[in-house]
Amino acid sequence: MAQNAKNTVPTKQNDQNRSYKKTPTALPDIQTLSALTTEPFVDTHTHLHYTLERLPNTFGIETFQDLKERYCPPNLEACINVLCDPLSFSSDEVFPGTYMDWKVMADTPFMYLSAGVHPHNAKDYNDYVEAQMLKILQHPKTVALGEIGLDYHYNNSPKDVQKQVLIRQIEQAKKLLKPIVIHTREAEEDTWDILTKYVPKDWKIHVHCFTDSPNFAKRLLDYFPNLYIGITGIITYGSAKNTQEVVRSIVPLNRILLETDAPYMTPGKLNRNKKSSDRITVSHSGMIPFIAQKIAEITKKDIDEIMRAARDNTRNMYGV
């Protein structure tokens, strides 16, 4: 198949369940992203297939390698691309040969995978979805199961269903000896009860995009010695008081992971004093240094120290 055909962007006509639109945006240049630090880094939680999906056609980006080479700083070593909706598990059949195809992601040199059903999609979990997910989890470049968890902010799936599906996926992770990636939002007590009941105390856990209370972070860190707290661009927002306090006084440097959760949560600094037409509305893995910069500011440490600690933590958590 010709290269252009292989990278055709999926459309709503291909799948009525997906809703996306090409969003007007800008992207920072490599010089801007490289100016803060030259320390090597890994984006431990991203959805770069959604980044490519949202970028306007004017960018001419057809592959993940295009994005990395043209818009990411050279010290980006790798990313962990997260597949968390049931459609993505059969993307090799629905969108074969495109950037939405999980096999294309796995073939991308700098990309590793994680797969698990997000709590928003828990209502769609069934034996078929689980079988498709397990197929991805058996690939050698799939380093974790997730993101899985509980989200009581939106309640897109009923709470009891979310809890059942979380427990079921934890059991699969234990069988496969895979680390787990946890999404928890406004569900502290139920998340605590399930994790402490079903997850072995020494298991590797990445609590992704932490926004809950500092007390909850402390409980998790104290109970699970191999649990890490994921910090995204949300820490750069004035409203992120909980996350900023967790970084300031709760989580030690040897328990922090850096993540973009791209295409979401563009670091605030990149849009300061910009006209709406110049705003960056899509994030990508190359923006990690801006998250580290904010952590450095809050903790009164050097950004390179933050970057080195996060890189070591990523090796410990994921072996990447």
Q: What is the pLDDT of residues 123-145, one digit of tens each?
A: 999 999 999 999 999 999 999 99
Global pTM?
0.93
The answer to whether 146 touches 181, Cβ cutoff 8 Å, is yes
The confidence score (pLDDT) of residue 30 equals 95
The confidence score (pLDDT) of residue 151 equals 98
Residue 5 placed within a domain? no
Residue 58 placed within a domain? yes
Residue 16 placed within a domain? no
Residue 236 placed within a domain? yes
Residue 52 placed within a domain? yes
Q: What is the pLDDT of residues 273-292, one digit of tens each?
A: 888 888 999 999 999 999 99
Residue 4 pLDDT more than 70? no
**CA dist list (Å): 140 to 33, 174, 306, 311, 318:** 31, 17, 29, 21, 12
Measured between alpha carbons, how far is 120 from 133 in angstroms, rounded to an integer? 16
Average pLDDT over residues 260-271: 95
Q: What is the pLDDT of residues 75-90, one digit of tens each?
A: 999 999 999 999 999 9
Measured between alpha carbons, how far is 278 from 281 in angstroms, rounded to an integer? 9
Residue 307 pLDDT more than 80? yes
> What CATH number is attached to the domain comprising 114?
3.20.20.140
Residue 19 placed within a domain? no
Please give the distance of CA 293 from its chain centroid, rounded to a whole number: 19
Measured between alpha carbons, how far is 180 from 45 in angstroms, rounded to an integer? 12
Query: How much is the mean pLDDT over the chain?
Result: 93
Measured between alpha carbons, how far is 266 from 291 in angstroms, rounded to an integer? 10
The answer to whether 170 touches 191, Cβ cutoff 8 Å, is no
The confidence score (pLDDT) of residue 23 equals 67
Q: What is the dihedral of CA 59, 65, 71, 76, to 10 degrees?
A: 160
Residue 231 placed within a domain? yes
Q: Could you list the residue range(s) of the whole structural domain that residue 159 is in?
A: 28-318
The confidence score (pLDDT) of residue 246 equals 98
What band does 293 get if pLDDT is binned at 50, 70 and 90? Answer: very high
Residue 15 placed within a domain? no
The confidence score (pLDDT) of residue 235 equals 98
**CA dist list (Å): 242 to 39, 101, 216, 255:** 27, 36, 10, 17
Q: What is the pLDDT of residues 8-62, one digit of tens each?
A: 333 322 333 444 567 678 899 999 999 999 999 999 999 999 999 999 998 999 9
Report the domain count for the chain: 1
